[in-house]
Structure 1
């Protein structure tokens, strides 16, 4: 039941947008009564939180799996496939990403986003520390935060804005952007 409601919430959010989403619309989409929906979710915000949480969890699993698969690789050999995996995941659900990025108030979705980012920052920081990357006075955690935030922002904007930059060229530029932090 909860899974059906979350899937329905996702569908309504993508189709109708944040402002038009209501618990009644989600219940109708899920084929349940509004009363049944309220047994699991007290309001619209709780449904949206569950939808975003599921999306964040799936995205986090894909990205952390990509990073973990390449943790022994050096520099660009680790970054390029991870950026590709991130772009693939974002592009698969671009309309939902648009709603999350452009319609849902940041405060409602910041804790899930921050948890995902911290998980990835932690992995990248551990990678840099384990590789003893030559970062000068920069702490691995600082370098990881900058890299993850830059890649996150630029990949989201790339997917949402559809610039005339070919994907391969975009990925190459992102790799070049973070290459200074990466051990060879």
Structure 2
């Protein structure tokens, strides 16, 4: 059964991989033109209506040149997502450094506000694409922004000895889910009855309540309560 699963997933993994990385300036310009064309077409027509021939035509490159770098449309989307994710991760790093001198409550709200700004700025790539293209949604946990966000949570927990280190991954799961599920939904829908301040305060309150509850529970249980 394991061999069968591997044989089924391998073609899908290859379909999402680049054929080669652009090294020369001209090649980088070609890839950049492909990303820009993809973004423009997806914004106008939706992801389902776009294909590689449309992208090549809009980018002004031959279809053969496009296939030199990307074997499939999905490979273009994943590479574009990773590019945007990497830029967003750099913004998160800067925000994390700036938040170090803040109180825990201020740091949580500051971090949430920063992530919300990133999601709104790059909504098409970071919000709409994973929601509309299942193949991308299945692999984004391994991209730069998601990895950094989980690392930031682990770093915060490691600096607070009141949290049981053996439960770190459980805390990361809950905190990441609370923050990103709510932020992505708000960025995608932006309901009239909520504004950005409401969202930041609401998610911040959930996070702080969770952290306070976990600190209290772990101090009451002590070492014997593990498991």
TM-score, normalised by the number of residues in structure 1? 0.86
Alignment partner, residue 50 of structure 1 = 79
| Contact kept? 1:14, 1:96, Cα under 8 Å | no
Q: Tell me the alpha carbon deviations over residues 121-176 of structure 1, each in whole angstroms, 9 at most, x when there is no partner.
A: 122111111122x3468723322331122100100101111121122122111111
Alignment partner, residue 90 of structure 2 = 61
Alignment partner, residue 185 of structure 2 = 157
The 2-side partners of 1:67 and 1:148 are apart by: 15
Q: Give me the CA root mean square deviation.
A: 2.2
Aligned-residue offset at 1:63:
1.9
Shift in alpha-carbon separation, 1:56–1:110, aligned structure 2, 3 A:
farther
Aligned-residue offset at 1:30:
0.8
| Contact kept? 2:80, 2:125, Cα under 8 Å | no
Aligned length: 181
| Contact kept? 2:130, 2:137, Cα under 8 Å | no
Structure 2 residue matching 1:99: 3-state secondary structure: helix
Are 1:38 and 2:56 counterparts? no
Range 47-56 or range 153-162, more displaced: 47-56
Larger-Rg structure = 2
The 2-side partners of 1:54 and 1:75 are apart by: 31
Range 1-10 or range 20-29, more displaced: 1-10
Alignment partner, residue 71 of structure 1 = 100
Alignment partner, residue 53 of structure 2 = 24
Aligned-residue offset at 1:58:
1.8
The 2-side partners of 1:101 and 1:27 are apart by: 22
Aligned-residue offset at 1:55:
1.8
| Contact kept? 1:22, 1:44, Cα under 8 Å | yes
TM-score, normalised by the number of residues in structure 2? 0.71
| Contact kept? 2:130, 2:136, Cα under 8 Å | no
| Contact kept? 2:78, 2:136, Cα under 8 Å | yes
Are 1:141 and 2:169 counterparts? yes
Gaps of 5+ in 1: none
The 1-side partners of 2:196 and 2:43 are apart by: 24
Structure 2 residue matching 1:131: 3-state secondary structure: coil
Aligned-residue offset at 1:178:
0.5
| Contact kept? 1:8, 1:29, Cα under 8 Å | yes
